[in-house]
Amino acid sequence: MAALARDFFMGTRLSSTEEREQALLAPYAMHSAQSAGREHPEPDHPYRGPFQRDRDRITHSAAYRRLSCKTQVFTGELGDYHRTRLTHTLEVASVARTIGRALALNEDLIEALALVHDLGHPPFGHAGEDLLDECLRDEGGFSHNAQALRIVRELETRYHDFPGLNLTREVLEGQATRIAHDTGQQRPLLETQVVEAADSITYDTHDADDALEFGLLALDELLTIDLWAEAAQRVRQRGAALEGGELRRAVLHELIDWQVSDLLDRASQRLAEGRFDSAQAVRQAELIIVASEDLAARKKDLEGFLRSRVYQHPSVLMHRREAQAALRAMFEAFVAQSELLPESFRRRSSVVGIRRSVGDYLAGMTDRFAWREYKRLFGNGVPGLETPKADI
């Protein structure tokens, strides 16, 4: 019986991924058979499509695991509720796959793009990114989007046949569009557009949720913002007399559902009007997976409110200053004394230069490891004022 089941499975497999995608995906989706392949050629896998393999390579990478201990927005010991880069990434992947399935797009590609999109974030969120960008200004600066490409092309060492993860060109290109949004006449694949939209939906919604949990905002304040006020009104129109935490959770659910529905309504109409017959045809059109003008304006208003009331909150800024001072002290120490670096990064410095190599090392740290490494070098003093210990 086992042999019979094995023979049946090996003999059908829907002719690998191609037949399955032909049956399930829209013509404007990116089909695996149309992939431009990898930078380092590899044979096809017997039962996984190319984008499935990309997803698996990303989830098994060390950089992906480290996202669990990297800050999304808030630094410091604020509690266990708030998002990390990993939980944010999973939330983006969840929303993006929902949109992709509704539009009959390639969910495997969408998932790979979502899982890689924040892979290059350094410790301490945007505070760490801004500090490294300043330290590496003469080396081309630092961007978490560009760093993700460096990770999957160079820094991950999991295969002996090639450097990095050797992801498909579609995933690499999708990440590259996050570095330069102006891609000329070639628009991103729909799958890439979906992930970008899902990222926006997720952080607009959940940054506010985290801020409420930490007491940086009151629910009444958020309910004065058009996006939240409208979502609350929709909840109440359904007859739910909710207050406090129950209202907050219901509004969060409504915000995601509203934004996803808005995207799908707009995208479905534009795809039907365009009668696109291939992924390439879509790339000649204007962006399709975008919010309506009304919702985009409401989102912009919310983002401005979060910027002034949350991201610039005194306690957030205090933790930001401490984290940046620690990173700066470590950057200067490693540049001045390269022998403090791990051997692999000392070797790398002969290829990319000491400053970039130090940046790569610091960017790969989790928040927890960064503080541990700082204390190893400087003890428990005030960040930024000490010199590294001579006996290390």
Domains identified in the chain and CATH numbers: 47-119+169-316 (1.10.3210.10)
Using the predicted structure, report yes or no on whether residue 268 has a pLDDT greater than 70: yes
Q: Which amino acid is at 371?
A: W
Minimal CA–CA distance to 124: which of 378, 386, 363? 363
Q: State the Cα–Cα distance between residues 114 and 193, nearest whole angstrom.
A: 11
Distance CA(345)–CA(54), nearest Å, equals 26
The first and second tokens of residue 244, run together, are 């406090």
Q: Taking a C-beta distance cutoff of 8 angstroms, is the pair 191, 29 a contact?
A: yes
pLDDT digits (tens, 9 = 90+) for 341-375: 999 999 999 999 999 999 999 999 999 999 999 99
What percent of the chain is predicted at pLDDT more than 70?
89
CA distances in angstroms from 115 to 104, 289, 372, listed in the order given = 20, 19, 27
More confident residue, 7 or 241: 241
Query: What is the DSSP secondary-structure string of 272-294?
Result: HHHT--SHHHHTTSPP-S---HH
Cβ-based neighbour number of residue 308 at 10 Å = 10
At a CB cut-off of 8 Å and minimum separation 6, what does 340 contact?
Answer: 333, 334, 377, 388, 392
Q: What angle do CA 154, 160, 163 make, to 5 degrees?
A: 15
Segment 160-213, tens digit of pLDDT: 888 999 999 999 999 999 876 544 567 999 999 999 999 999 999 999 998 898
Query: What is residue 225's DSSP assignment?
Result: S
Per-residue pLDDT tens for 212-263?
988 889 999 999 999 999 999 999 998 768 888 899 999 999 999 999 999 9
Asked if residue 258 lies in contact with residue 234, where contact means CB atoms within 8 angstroms, the answer is: yes
At 390, is the pLDDT very low, low, confident or very high (cuts 50, 70, 90)? very low
Q: Supply the pTM of this predicted model.
A: 0.91
Torsion angle of the four alpha carbons 106, 110, 111, 115, in this order, in degrees rounded to the nearest 10? 160
